[in-house]
Chains A and B, each alone.
Chain A
Amino acid sequence: MFKSKHFEYYRTASVLLIALLLTFIIISFVSGQPLHTIYIFLYEPISSLSHFGNVVEMAIPLTFTGLALALLFKMNMFNLGAEGTFYFAGLMASFIAIRISMNGALHPLVCIMFGGIVGAAISAIPGWLKAKWDVNELVTSLMFNSILYGVGQYLLNYKLRDSAAYQTASFKFESTAVLSKLIPGTRIHTGLIIVIVCVILAHLFMYKTRWGYELRMTGANREFAEYSGIKTGRVIIYVHLLAGLIAGIGGSVEVLGMYSRFQWNALPGYGMDGALVAMIAKNSPIGVVGAALFLAYIRVGADMMSRYSDVPSEMISIIQAIILLLVSADQFLKFWKNRMLLKEAQKHA
C-alpha cells in the first residue's frame, strides 16, 4: 500500500501530525478546559472570513521568504539571509513610499521593485563570496542579518522617524503607495496576487528552464555539475540574486500591505520562519504555499487560543521546534522506509 518513493510525503505528514498531537498533550496539562482550548486552536482560524483572512495574510510573507530559501536550499546552500533582506528591503520600499510622490498605480510597483532590487543586491554579497572564495554562506548571511538590522535602525531613527508618532516609527506612507485591499471584510491585500505570480514563476524557473536545471544539478552534486560543464560559481551568484529579489519583494509587499508606517523595531522573524517553511515543503515552490498556510494556520490558532482560553500563544514555539527537529532529522522514521523497501524487494524477487 505504501510506496517507498512517496516516503518523504508520509514522513512530512507524520511529523506535522506528531507535532499537533504533542501540542494537544501539552495543552491538556496546562489548560483548565483542554477540549475547549483545542477546539479554539483548531477551529477559530477557519471559523469566519476575517479569521481565515488572518491566516492568508500571514501566509503571504511566509511564502515569500519560504520561496527565497527554497531556491537556496535546493542549491544546497544553507543561507539564512532572507531575514535581514526582508527587513531591509521593507525599509527601502518605505523610503520610496514616504519621500516620493507618484501616480497611484505606479507608486507601489516602484516601491516594490526598488525593495526587490535592493534585496537582490544585498543577497548577492554572500553569494559572490561563496562562489569566489568558498566563504561559508551560513556565517556571512547571519552576520549580514545583524549588520542590516543595525543599519536599518540607524536609517529609521535618523532619516525616517516621525517624532509625532507614539512609538519608534517612520512617517506615514503616501496614500498612493499603500497596497489596496483585495477581499472586503479581511485585510488581504493585492500582495496575494504578487505572491501567487512569484510561486508560479519560481516553479517554472526551477523545473522547466535551463537555469533552474543548472540550479538543481549544482545542488544535487556540485562536482558533477562542474564536470558536465556548468559554471557553478555563476549559478550560485544568480540564484542568490533571485532569492534576494524574492525576499526583497516580500519585505516591501508586507510593509505596504499591512502597515501605514514602517515600524519594525526588531527583525520580524519571517526569514527564519521561511527556513522552516522551505524545509517542510522539501524546497518545492508549490509545496511552500501549503507549508506557509499550515504554519500561518497554527500561528493564528495559537493567537486565538491565547485570546479566548487560558493557554498563552508562546505555545506555538514548542510546535515549531518539534517540527524543525523532526523534519531535519534524517534518521527519523528510517526504519519504516527500510521495511517498505524490504517488502517491495520481496515482491520483485
Chain B
Amino acid sequence: MAEALLDMRNITKVYPNGVVANQDVNFSLAEGEIHAVAGENGAGKSTLMKMMFGMEEPSRGDIYLRGSKIRLNSPQDAIRMGIGMVHQHFMLVPSFTVAENMVLGMEPRKGIAINYSEAVRLTKEYATKYNLHVDPTEKVENLSVGMKQKVEILKALVRGANILILDEPTAVLTPQETDELFDQLKLLKEKGHTIVFISHKLKEVKAICDRITIMRSGRTEGVFDMQQVSEQEITRLMVGRDVVLKYEKEANSIGKPVLRVKDFTVCSKEGKRVLNHIQLSISEGEIVGVAGVEGNGQSQLVDAVVGKLKGESGSVEVGNVPIGGMDIESVRGLGVSYIPEDRMRQGTAKEASILDNIISTRFKGKEWSKLGFFKRSKMLELTEEYIKKFQIKTSGPNQEIGMLSGGNMQKVVVAREGSTEPKFLIAEQPTRGVDVGAAQLIHHNLLELRSKGCAILLISADLNEILELSDKLLVMYEGEFVACFDHPSEISEQELGLYMLGINRQEQGDIRRGMHV
C-alpha cells in the first residue's frame, strides 16, 4: 500500500450530552483505494466521518493529510483540502436546477450576474468525465433518489474533491440502483479518487471495497484487506458475536380484523396521489409488513392509520370505530400505540427523565394520580420494572433520556408503547440506528405482543427485519400496494427489490385476495 493519504490518530469525540461516540479511534486512508467503514448503527462511523469533513471537531486527537497536521473547523476547510462528502440526507436545494445546485456558493460570473450557461457547461463536462449522466437544466425536486445522489457526487467532484466520503449511500437505493452506483464508484477509483464508503451492509462492502475498517461501540476493531477477511469474520467483529436474525415464530391463530383501511386516497399539494385507493386489513395476532423505497407513501399511510390524515375518499377503522378526524388522545384510547420513526423529534422529550418519558401516554389514567397529584413511587416502580425488563443501560429512572445511547432510547419508546396492552401497534422503523442487541430485544417484544393478540403494522427499510418478522408482506410503490406475499421469509431480497422499484407488480386482484379484503 502507498503511504497514508489521510490519517486520523487517537480520535476521541464526546458529545455535549455525554455520549462518547468515538474513543481512541485510528483511521488511515491510502491513496486510490475504496475503503469501507463498517459497523452497526451507532458504532461511531458517522461521527468519525463528520470529523473528517470538518462538521464536528474531535475532543482529542489529530488529523493528518499527506503527513502534515490539519485542523478542520468547518466543511469549507475540508472542501478546500479536497475532501468531499455525500450525506445520507441530501443537501440540495429542491427548487433549483441541477446546474444551479452544482455551482452553489462558487457561481461562475458574467459581470455581476451569474453565468448560467457556464454552469450548465461545467455540469455537462463533469457528467461526461465521470459518466454520471444528469440533466443540468432539470429541477432537483423532479429527480429520483438515485439521480439526486449522482448530483451530490458531482457536486463534490466539481468542488475539487479528491477524497470522497459516502455516508450509507445505498440506504435509500434499490438493489438495481446500487449496482449502478458501484460501477460509477469503480470508475472514480480508476480516475485516481479515494473513496470512503460507510455501510453496514456486508455484501456491498465485499463487492467494491479494497480495505475495511470495522468499528464497534466507538472503537476501531481492526483494519483488513478485503481478500483476507470473510463475511463471518467481519460480522463477528462488528457485533461482537455471531448474530443471525432468525426468529422462531410460533404459529398463531389469527383473530378478527382490528385495522381496516378501505379505499383510502390522499393527494399531495401538487395533486399527486400519494396514497392511491389503499386497501388494508390487519387482524389480531398478525404482523403485516410494508416494504418500499422511502417516500413511496409509507409515512402518509402511518399518518392515515393514526388518524392524523384525512383522506379524500375512503375510511380507516380501528375495532369498527372510524378514526378520521379524531384527536390523538381518543385514538390512543382505542388501544392504538405507535413507535414513531424519529425518536428524537416525536418519540421522546430528550431533556426529560426516563420516568417522564415512560408515563407520557398513560399518566391521565386514574390509577396514576390522586386529586391531580402524581403517585410518584408507583411511577418509579413501573419505570424500574421496564429498565430491568428491557435491559436499559442507565443510572436510574431520573436520568435524562437524552444522555442514553440511541438503542437504549429506542428501548424506552418500545417499552412505553408496547406495555399499554395495545390492540393495534404501528412500528415505524422500530430498530433504525439501534445496535443488534437492542434490535433483537425489540423484535422479541414485537413477537410477544403478536402472540398476545396485538395487530401490528411494521414499516421498515431493513429488509432482513421485515422478511423475518412479518406474517404477510406488502410492497408499496408510488402510493399503491404492488405486491402481497404470504410467506415473506421465503422471498429473496433481489426479488423484493424488483417490486420496490416498480419493475414487477402483481395483479390487483391477487393482492386483494392475499389481503382478504
Q: Chain A residues in contact with chain B, CB under 8 A?
A: 4, 204, 208-211, 213, 216-217, 220-221, 223-231, 334, 337-338, 341-342, 344-345, 348-349
Contact = CB atoms under 8 A, between A and B. Distances in A.
A47 B352 CA distance: 43
B374 A208 contact: yes
B14 A341 contact: yes
B84 interface: no
Contacts of A224: 345-349, 360
B248 interface: no
Q: Is the interface of A mostly helix, strand, loop or mixed?
A: helix
A304 B361 CA distance: 54
Contacts of B229: none
B352 A217 contact: yes
23 contacts: A208-B373, A208-B376, A209-B369, A213-B359, A220-B356, A221-B348, A221-B352, A224-B347, A224-B360, A225-B360, A227-B340, A229-B327, A229-B328, A229-B364, A231-B329, A334-B16, A338-B59, A341-B16, A342-B14, A344-B18, A345-B12, A345-B14, A348-B20
B23 interface: yes
A58 to B, nearest CB: 32
Contact of A216 (B15, B59, B356): B356
A122 to B, nearest CB: 26
B19 to A, nearest CB: 9
Contacts of A217: 349, 352, 356, 360
B371 to A, nearest CB: 9
B350 interface: yes
Contacts of B340: 227
A342 B13 CA distance: 8
Contacts, number: 90
Interface string B223-239: 00000000000000000
B38 to A, nearest CB: 22
Interface string B333-346: 00000101000011
Contact of B360 (A230, A231, A348): A230
A333 to B, nearest CB: 12
Contacts of A228: 328, 360-361
A210 B18 contact: no
Interface in B217-275: none
Q: Is the interface of B mostly helix, strand, loop or mixed?
A: mixed
Q: How large is the interface on B (under 10, 10 to 19, 20 to 34, 35 or more residues)?
A: 35 or more
A226 B349 CA distance: 11
Given A220-B349, A226-B328, A334-B16, A210 B363 contact: yes
B80 interface: no
B346 A231 contact: no
A209 B16 contact: no
B44 to A, nearest CB: 13
Contacts of A348: 20
Contacts of A211: 372
B486 interface: no
A227 B352 contact: no
Contact of A342 (B59, B329, B359): B59
Contacts of A337: 16
Given A4-B18, A208-B374, A209-B374, A223 B351 contact: no
Given A4-B18, A213-B356, 14 more contacts: A204-B373, A209-B369, A210-B372, A213-B359, A221-B351, A224-B345, A224-B347, A227-B338, A227-B346, A227-B347, A231-B329, A341-B14, A341-B16, A345-B20
Contacts of A227: 328, 338, 340, 346-347
A348 B393 CA distance: 13
Contacts of A208: 373-374, 376
Nearest to B15: A341
B478 to A, nearest CB: 27
A209 B346 contact: no
B369 A231 contact: no
Nearest to A222: B349
A209 B363 CA distance: 10
B66 interface: no
Contact of B345 (A223, A231, A341, A344): A223
Nearest to A213: B363
Contact of A221 (B59, B350, B376): B350
Which 6 residue pairs spanning A and B have beta carbons closest together? A220-B349, A228-B360, A221-B349, A229-B329, A345-B20, A341-B14
Given A210-B374, A224-B360, A338-B16, A345 B348 contact: no
Given A230-B360, A338-B16, A342-B59, A220 B373 contact: no
Among B14, B338, B352, residue most surrounded by chain A Cβ atoms (within 10 Å) = B14
A220 B332 CA distance: 21
Interface string B154-191: 00000000000000000000000000000000000000
A229 B372 contact: no
A220 B351 contact: yes
Interface string B133-160: 0000000000000000000000000000
A211 B338 CA distance: 23
A342 B60 contact: yes
A217 B351 CA distance: 9
Contacts of A338: 14, 16, 59
A269 to B, nearest CB: 31
